[in-house]
Amino acid sequence: MPRKTTGCWTCRARKKKCDDGRPSCAACALRALVCYGYGAKPGWMDGGDQERTVLASMNRRAKESYSERRRARAARVARHGSLASTETGTATGLPSPSPGSATGPFGDACVGSSDRQSSCDGVDLLPTTARSSPQSPPPPPLSHRSVRAFLYNETELSLLMYYFDHVFPRLAPFFTYSAADGGRGWLLSLLLRTKPLGAAAICISACDQAQFVLGPLSDIPQPNHDLETKHIQSVVDLRAHLTQLAQQTGASRMAVAVEALACIMHLILFEVALLWIPRKDQLNDWVMHLDAASALLSSVDFTMAGRDAEDAPLWEACDDGAVEAVAEDTTTSAVEDVAGPSPGQPPSPPPQPSSPSSSSSSTTAHDVARFFPVAFLSDGDRAAFDFFLTMYTYCFIVAAVGQGLTARSAASVRRTRAIFHRGQSKLRDMFGCEDAILITLLDIAVLRHWKQRAQRDGTLSVRALTRRAAVLERRLAAGAGAGAATTTTTTTSTTTAHRDEQIRMITATYRHAGLLFLHVVVSGFYPHLPEIRAAVLQTRDALAYMRAHGDTNFPSWPFCVAGCLALPADYPHFRALLPPPQAGTHPLVLTMWTLSIVERCWQLRRAQAAHEETVDWVAAMNDLGTRLLLL
């Protein structure tokens, strides 16, 4: 049969009718096939083995789509029949649960959003003989839980378990739980009661699991197109759910914020989870999602009442923050140490030294409850909020040092300094780096923002810049010491000792990269400067040690910063930090993408004049047309 000469390339290859719909024809949309459009002929249509492979994949997907549609129709018919049986049971004395008292399969409320209501359609599980036999006694009243169908099929449940077993441990590799604190039940409850969130977790699991099946990356169409379709639908569902949540008011506002924050963080995770699929110019949505999370947190923040988070200048974020210098360096205000006073404002008074007895009370005063009405939350929702708030904070800090800050970041900087202050271990206990080091990195980003603003205004004081940088450098050293001091010494547990060693490795990697970042902020992007050269080698060695001895992949931001400042003699060492993929292991795709940014930085540097300030990682990303969240 000759090939069709009209229609989209997919239908022409499959020799099927096409309605010429744009951007996707109806035939491809119905069967969840990739519609290759009407432009240039795809490269895989070579008339050879490659085309036969792609066609076989398309036909297999078309058959699967047909089977899925048949199963969906059968399920609808069965549901209608069950609903009719339920009505019969009600007529014989069975109670019918009222809509207002509807609960999910585990007792969770199924009201408040249309997706929950639609996902809780009832199915009567009582046998017909038990209802119709006149000799049998009337059955006991059924709880609503017993007449509800479970929301997930076997495949989806398997992927949910995959999420808990394989995805979650990599999202927060140092998060620990026990039977005494309820384990991860709060997360299971959140995924089951929030259908779009559960679907997102399932989709992320499917994408992650496919890494073991699809083999090396390729531009040739593969079965990952199914996952792309599911990813797009999950993003649409999450955004629709966020729109519904935004309409909630009153006492439920904080509980709604927990769901919304979880949804936003999963939108960000989608971009990380799908990095292994060849996609260009599509890695920028996380910036928008991170801003949305900041706006959401500001909307439920006690301290933002009467303040405009969007208009507040960034330097004001330091006024009531906690830029805590080392004890002997508290002769100037916390504001002036990092960001300088606001224009036209007198210097702030020096902070008062704290007494030993005030330490614990200060920790309590700067708790999450100071900013958010968490008293309205259940224990499970409180655990979920703490988890996703910490995840957001980590992403925010990485974005700040990787991409820079804007005035929109002021509220987040203020909250981060207050909640994750010195002496805390929230970030460490999820991501393995001491909180003091990560907060110092955020302050270096604020210092960079202050320097850029002063340069634009013609008011940059090199003396003030170096003084503030010296404070931050001492804080990096003190943070490393604090990390060593906070490790557990009261137990000889091998597991605990191993965990502490992993934390020391990650903290050291961030500390060396932070010192390198600080030198760049003060001196510029000059790889030949002695202090920059030394910091590059220290960071490279820390990365290599972590690659050899770490249980997890090393973080991408230190790799990117040190790699972009490396000299040609170091290029092979940085390339060797990305090992070849091995069967049965997760490919280090984020590291691969980071190395592509580093390589582009090297390429752009070769085209520059000698002794000129070289391009940085942001310029390399811009040249590639993307922005990567360097987690």
98 within some domain: no
Alpha-carbon span 432 to 430, nearest angstrom = 6
Does residue 327 sit in the same domain as residue 453?
A: yes
What is the number of residues in the chain? 631
Is residue 105 pLDDT above 60, yes or no?
no
Share of the chain above pLDDT 90, in %: 37
Q: Give the distance, in angstroms, between the CA of residue 356 and the centroid of all CA atoms in the same chain.
A: 38
The Cα–Cα gap between 552 and 561 comes to 19
Tens digits of per-residue pLDDT, 252-286?
788 889 999 999 999 888 877 655 554 444 557 78
Least confident span in 278-287, 466-475, 485-494, 508-517: 485-494
Check whether residue 531 and residue 617 sit in a common domain: yes
Summarised one tens digit per residue, pLDDT across range 566-580 is 999 999 999 999 998
Look at residues 459, 494, 296 and name the one whose alpha carbon lies nearest to residue 392: 296
Q: Which residues pair with 109 in a beta bridge?
A: 103
Same domain, 466 and 494: no
- Looking at the structure, tell me whether residues 498 and 466 fall in a common domain: no
The strand pairing partners of 148, in sequence order, are: 122
Which residue range is the domain that position 457 belongs to? 299-349+363-477
> Which region among 185-189, 457-461, 479-483, 597-601 has the lowest average model confidence (pLDDT)?
479-483
- CA dist., res. 413 & res. 99, Å (int): 44
Same domain, 80 and 199: no
At 185, the pLDDT band (50, 70, 90 cuts) reads: very high
227 plus 254 within the same structural domain: yes
Of 64, 92, 120, the residue that ends a domain is 92
Q: How many structural domains are present in the chain?
A: 4
As a whole number, mean pLDDT of residues 197-205 equals 88
Q: Are residues 341 and 440 in the same domain?
A: yes
Report if residue 617 sits inside a domain: yes
Kindly give the residue spans of alpha helices, DSSP state H, lying in 253-309. Answer: 253-273, 285-299
- Hey, which of 69-78, 194-203, 233-242 has the most confident mean pLDDT? 194-203
- Are 440 and 560 within one domain? no
Give the global pTM. 0.71
- Indicate if 303 and 252 belong to the same structural domain: no
Within 8 A by CB and 6+ apart from 166, the residues are 205, 208, 209
477, 505, 533 — which closes off a domain?
477
User: Which residues, at least 6 apart from 273, have a Cβ–Cβ distance to it below 8 Å?
Assistant: 167, 204, 207, 208
- Matching residue, tokens 């770490």: 550
- pLDDT tens-digit profile of 338-361? 444 444 443 333 333 333 333 333
Residue with tokens 């039977």: 179
111 assigned to some structural domain: no
The arithmetic mean of pLDDT across residues 227-235, rounded, is: 72
Residue 411 is assigned to a structural domain of this protein: yes
Per the listing, tokens 């895989």 go with: 44
Query: What residues contact residue 381 under an 8 Å CB cut-off, 6+ apart?
Result: 186, 190, 255, 258
Question: Which pLDDT value is given to residue 423?
Answer: 76
Partners of 122 in the β-ladder: 148
Q: Could you tell me the sign of the dihedral formed by the alpha carbons of 207, 211, 216, 221, in that order?
A: negative
Q: CB of 528 within 8 A of CB of 567?
A: yes
Dihedral angle computed from the Cα positions of residues 66, 71, 74 and 78, in that order, rounded to the nearest 10 degrees: -160
Residue 555: pLDDT over 60:
yes
CA distances, 590 to each of 230, 504, 560 (Å): 21, 22, 11
How many other CB atoms sit within 10 Å of the CB of residue 150?
12
Q: Does residue 162 come out as left (phi exceeding 0), alpha (psi in the -120 to 50 range) or beta?
A: alpha
454 and 326 in a common domain: yes
User: What is residue 301's DSSP assignment?
Assistant: -
In terms of pLDDT, which residue wins out, 236 or 448?
A: 448
Identify the pLDDT of residue 620: 94
* Whole-angstrom distance, CA of residue 478 vs CA of residue 324: 11
Q: Running DSSP on this structure, what letter comes out for residue 103?
A: B
How far is it, in rounded angstroms, from Cα 254 to Cα 384?
A: 12
**Residue 545's pLDDT is what?**
97
Nearest-Å Rg of the Cα atoms of the chain is 28
Mean pLDDT, rounded, of the chain: 75
- With a CB cutoff of 8 Å and minimum separation 6, the contacts of 162 are 205, 208, 209
User: Does some domain include residue 434?
Assistant: yes
Q: State whether 492 and 627 are in the same domain.
A: yes
Q: How far is CA 118 from CA 143, 196, 295, 335, in A?
A: 19, 12, 29, 52
In a domain, 132, yes or no: no
* Residue 491 and residue 628 share a domain: yes
* Distance of alpha carbon 98 from alpha carbon 542, whole angstroms: 61
Structure tokens at 236: 């649409």
Are 34 and 44 a contacting pair, CB within 8 Å? no
DSSP letter at 370? G
Query: Is residue 129 domain-resident?
Result: no
Instruction: Centre a 10 Å sphere on the Cβ of residue 450 and count the other Cβ atoms it contains.
Output: 22
CA dist., res. 129 & res. 366, Å (int)? 62
Flag whether 35 is in a domain: yes
